[in-house]
Amino acid sequence: MALVQFQIGKQGLTDGFIKSLETCFKTNNRVKVYVLKSGRPDGKEGKTQVEKYSKEILEKLGKIYTAKTIGFTINFKKWRKPPIRK
């Protein structure tokens, strides 16, 4: 299965972006989201912005999704059951 990739740019998170993610998760279990330079401030503020994007997307998608942030990339995974979170 091919790796599915999305990008967040200067428009940030939009309803269309979230709907595209939901549609993509109907056929895929993993998705990578890249936060482009135009979608975040420079320096440490950029890293915190990526974390905010991650949390906001998870809130909108639901409990059966998890995310891992590496640099300016967010890896999302869909589970069959909600994972046990500590």
- Domains of the chain (ranges plus CATH)? 4-78 (3.30.110.60)
Q: What is the pLDDT of residues 3-50, one digit of tens each?
A: 789 999 999 899 999 999 999 999 999 999 999 999 888 888 889 999
Q: pTM above 0.75?
A: yes
Residue whose entry in the numeric block shows the structure tokens 């109907």: 26
Q: What is the pLDDT of residues 45-80, one digit of tens each?
A: 889 999 999 999 999 998 899 999 999 999 999 988
Q: Give the start-end residues of each E strand in the chain.
A: 4-8, 30-35, 65-70, 73-78
The residue among 7, 9, 5, 51 whose CA lies nearest residue 28 is 5
